[in-house]
Structure 1
Amino acid sequence: MIAYKTWKRNIAFLIVAYPMIFMSCGSKISEKAVDNPWKKMDLVIKSIPQVIFLKKDYNIKDFGAVGDGATFNTIAFEKAVKACTANGGGRVVVPHGKYLTGPIHLENNVNLHLEDNAEILFSVNPKDYPIVHTSFEGTELMNYSPLIYAKNKTNVAITGKGILNGQANNTNWWVWSGGKSYGWEKGIPSQNDPANREVLVDMAEKGVPVSKRIFGEGRYLRPNFIEFFECNTVLIKDITIINAPFWILHPIKSNNIIVDGVTVDSHGPNNDGCDPEYSQNIIIKNCVFNTGDDCIAIKAGRDADGRRVAIPSKNIIVQNCKMIDGHGGVVIGSEISAGVNNVFVENCVMDSPNLDRAIRIKTNSKRGGVIENVYVRNLEVGTVKECVLKLNMFYNVYGSQTGNFIPVIKNVSLENVKVKKAGKYGVWAEGYKESPVENITLKNVVIEKADSLYLLKNIRNFNFINTYINDKKVKSIKK
């Protein structure tokens, strides 16, 4: 009896004490991680769970699919996905061939696997895309389904050496952007018409519920390509993606995402390669981005909608990637109102006369947002058009973009970066007097050629350590 009471007392102590011990250890780990942010990155990597699937295959041909590039296979994909998830999961296999389809909606425990020489061709007819809860340029709405879509799913993947072809090049998807270089002409409807994109932004500003922001037919807002919405534990591996209507890889409100070995080659309007938004614990590695917009653009919602959701994007890791064409290699913003922190970029190659910047943060006083703790190391940069590092609180591409939400940009570090040609400036940073760009460090950075060393306005504590631009050692600025 005494032994039992002693055992019971000890168990009670452990129930109370264990969480305290755990929290204490966690606090020490966090303190060490702050001292060395790269240790924090390692901890994030170790914390991300891996997808696991049953060893069962569901070949789409067994569900009626025909890979002739002409037969419509939406129902076959739907049946295969439903059978797979209903039986505990596995692989939905797309074999050799070209498979025309409407949107594919994934379910729990499903790995959409494209074999070698398999290609999925997505319809360019808007009527094939149902209205779902999605997002357009950082604002939630009811709009055309993404080409591949998963909402509230866990343990999901897209894998294999095949091709996902959005077929958007020179079709209505690109024309809807309103860009003349994409086929738009005066008189053709586009997202820029007064009743379209700006109406959506106005709805968000007025607090209209998402369920009542109904767009789709007649509103000309293009769908995302691959969107994981409120998902957990996702893998996208080895596939090639071409000819996207809009943003290409878009995890939104999702956690624990790995993008590995993916090739994105799509030069359409707003063809960002990967846009994590309101998302956490993301690894993007071993990928190639050749895009019509930013290669990687980390997002956190636009204006009032971003502040409504209020989920920062954080713990975003980019490793061993190659960036070719694009507006920026790794970009944060401009849809950034909920903030971004803990971004790690390492061992990447960026090089193209059509790549504007290597690292960029873009926001303004309408967006707001706190952007902090961005760590970059070991970059090989060939040519960029404008500058290597751009930190801008006055981003303005849609007309007037000023408001009462002064942003914050602080704690940005570049280390071991080699650049052959930087264009206008080595570094470009602009802040507000009341909110300067602060605590920026460039260590062991060599920029062989730039028109000017830098453009710096309203900055504080800019540290240039063993950094050379045009063979000139750059001095730190502490003001």
Structure 2
Amino acid sequence: MLNSISRRSFMYASAFCGVSACQTNLPRAFADPVWEKAEQIRQKITPPSIPKAQFLLTDFDARGDGIFDNTAAFKAAIDACRKAGGGQIRVPDGHYLTGAIQLHSNIELNVSAGARLIFSTDPMDYPVVLTRYEGVEVMNYSPLIYARDAKNVAITGEGVLDGQASNEHWWPWCGAERFGWREGVGHQTPDRQALFEMAESGIPVEQRRFGPGHYLRPSFVEFYNCENVLVEDIHLKDSPFWNIHPVLSRNVIVRGVEVVGHGPNNDGCNPESVDHMLIENCYFDTGDDCIAIKSGRNADGRRVAVPSENILIRNCQMKAGHGGVVIGSEISGDVFNVYAEGCAMDSPDLWYMLRIKNNAMRGGVVENIHLRNIEVGQVARAVMICDFNYEEGINGPFTPVLRNVSMQSIAVKKAVRVLDSQGFAKAEIENISLKDCIFNGVSSPSLIAHTKDVALKNIYVNDALVSAL
């Protein structure tokens, strides 16, 4: 049930206890004000309240044979649950083929440990809905599981959500041959450019209509303008695009989730314009950023103007990905107050521990980003990158702002460099603080340009105490 501590959540918390969980409850006299703020945020994040009524999916003519189309059965169960005022829809053991699933207020979808939801690879099984694609609002294919304007909604259980994306389905739309695209086959580039041009021109969202006949891939799980959200213990694999994507939502918990998929843009979790969110005890092994915080792209992000803020990341494990904790690049609506602690990262295919990416087309303010008690086996590039030269770089009229970034008690066994921080002349990065960190296996010097106030305290690089990077 929602109020219990899941077996996987307990295992992850126990595994990381030596890194963080046993170090965060410090006596008040020694508490850090930065992390006191994080604790205040955590206390405001609460699980949804779901009615106790239960609805068994197989009572609505579902078949778990992996062949029968259960889209109608899911809808019937959800409609019955909704009519009754809400409750839990239980998916028993079996393999259930389905198209899009839309959840509503006061509903929990519980997928048992022996159950597998197999999502159709036919785009026509995903009706057009309001969504965001790379930070731009659009009418496009429904995410595989979708909720809009819902309050108290959850996906729980230790079962598998299988997006079935591959080099044969969904992934070729990215236009890259290594993901199955071939000459003469449609791909996302023209549609993506058309959408971005519509947004810059102020075309109303309802007229930005894609879906059938177009090639913008849907996210896997999306909560759009929802409140009191929980995703717990589920295994997600092989998403068409981003995996867990809460948008314009408040009070969100993602806990004990495993995300695996190495396709294009297979980000693990993308909080976008979200307020008060907890991501804890999760495992990410992805084809893009493990966790990437966003707030809208360019003109559309400025039009909606809702930041991502008050986000806690705790006791997570990151394997492959472009970055472990990432902010950007779609951050035109700003990002404030992000805290990550007690995580473990280790893979030759993980580029960075912390990645912040922005440019003069996005603009936006990013401030108060704090990491502590992180263990890194290896990253392929830098431990931390702050990059204002991403994509369009300086070619734009807006000024990106980044200030107040701290790293404390970070232990790294192998990285090419410690810091890659590059602003530009009219947009300097401000106030980076490193304290009580050990960086070993460092093979190249840090790159620091248009960055001021880099403070070091008790920092070791390759076993030597250093006063500068």
TM-score by length of 2: 0.92
Query: Alignment partner for residue 474 of structure 1, among 459, 466, 469?
Result: 466
How much does 1:147 deviate?
A: 0.2
How much does 1:172 deviate?
A: 2.9
The answer to whether the aligner puts 1:418 opposite 2:415 as a matched pair is no
Distance 1:126 1:378 in 2: 43
Distance 1:175 1:74 in 2: 25
The answer to whether the aligner puts 1:408 opposite 2:395 as a matched pair is no
Query: Alignment partner for residue 384 of structure 2, among 389, 404, 421?
Result: 389
Query: Alignment partner for residue 358 of structure 1, among 344, 353, 358?
Result: 353
- Higher deviation after alignment, 149-158 or 210-219: 210-219
Distance 2:118 2:233 in 1: 17
Report what 2:8 is aligned to: none
Distance 1:305 1:172 in 2: 29
The answer to whether the aligner puts 1:207 opposite 2:202 as a matched pair is yes
Query: Alignment partner for residue 70 of structure 1, among 64, 67, 71?
Result: 67
2:171 is paired with a residue whose SS is helix
The answer to whether the aligner puts 1:375 opposite 2:370 as a matched pair is yes
The answer to whether the aligner puts 1:105 opposite 2:102 as a matched pair is yes
Report what 1:174 is aligned to: 171
1:150 is paired with a residue whose SS is strand
1:329 is paired with a residue whose SS is strand
8 Å Cα contact 2:249-2:274 kept in structure 1: yes
Report what 1:43 is aligned to: 40
How much does 1:298 deviate?
A: 0.2
How much does 1:219 deviate?
A: 1.6
1:202 is paired with a residue whose SS is helix
1:253-402 to structure 2, matched below 5 A, reads 253-396=248-391, 402=395
Distance 2:207 2:147 in 1: 21
What letter matches 1:134 in structure 2?
T
Encode CA deviations 1:32-85: one digit per residue, 9 max, x unaligned.
9x9711111111111123212222210110001000000000010001011112
Distance 1:58 1:357 in 2: 44
How much does 1:171 deviate?
A: 2.6
How much does 1:401 deviate?
A: 7.0
Encode CA deviations 1:272-315: one digit per residue, 9 max, x unaligned.
00000011100000000000000000001111110101101000
What letter matches 2:382 in structure 1?
C
How much does 1:186 deviate?
A: 1.9
The answer to whether the aligner puts 1:141 opposite 2:144 as a matched pair is no
What letter matches 2:219 in structure 1?
N
Distance 1:454 1:465 in 2: 16
Let me know the Cα RMSD of the aligned residues: 1.4
Encode CA deviations 1:409-441: one digit per residue, 9 max, x unaligned.
110000000000012x11100012232111100
2:75 is paired with a residue whose SS is helix
What letter matches 1:253 in structure 2?
L
Report what 1:246 is aligned to: 241
2:403 is paired with a residue whose SS is strand
1:466 is paired with a residue whose SS is strand
Distance 1:474 1:141 in 2: 49
Cα–Cα, structure 1 residues 170 and 161, in superposed 2: closer, same or farther, change >3 Å? same
Encode CA deviations 1:306-333: one digit per residue, 9 max, x unaligned.
0101101000100000000000000000
Distance 1:419 1:49 in 2: 33
8 Å Cα contact 1:453-1:469 kept in structure 2: no
The answer to whether the aligner puts 1:198 opposite 2:190 as a matched pair is no
Distance 1:469 1:402 in 2: 35
Q: Which structure has the larger Rg?
A: 1
Encode CA deviations 1:254-280: one digit per residue, 9 max, x unaligned.
000000000001111000000000111
2:206 is paired with a residue whose SS is helix
1:436-475 to structure 2, matched below 5 A, reads 436-475=428-467
8 Å Cα contact 2:54-2:89 kept in structure 1: yes
8 Å Cα contact 2:360-2:393 kept in structure 1: no
Report what 2:422 is aligned to: 430
Distance 1:244 1:139 in 2: 20
How much does 1:406 deviate?
A: 1.3
8 Å Cα contact 2:282-2:316 kept in structure 1: yes
1:201 is paired with a residue whose SS is helix
8 Å Cα contact 2:228-2:252 kept in structure 1: yes
How much does 1:400 deviate?
A: 7.3
1:304 is paired with a residue whose SS is helix
Tell me the number of residue pairs that the alignment of Structure 1 and Structure 2 aligns: 440
Encode CA deviations 1:193-243: one digit per residue, 9 max, x unaligned.
x3x100000000000010000001122000010000000000000000001
Distance 1:448 1:283 in 2: 30
How much does 1:476 deviate?
A: 4.6
Distance 2:335 2:50 in 1: 32
Distance 1:189 1:203 in 2: 20
- Long gaps (5+) in structure 2: 1-28
8 Å Cα contact 2:292-2:328 kept in structure 1: yes
- Long gaps (5+) in structure 1: 1-31
Higher relative contact order (CA 8 A, sep 6+): 2
8 Å Cα contact 2:100-2:125 kept in structure 1: yes
What letter matches 2:230 in structure 1?
L
Query: Alignment partner for residue 161 of structure 2, among 124, 144, 164?
Result: 164
TM-score by length of 1: 0.90
1:301 is paired with a residue whose SS is coil
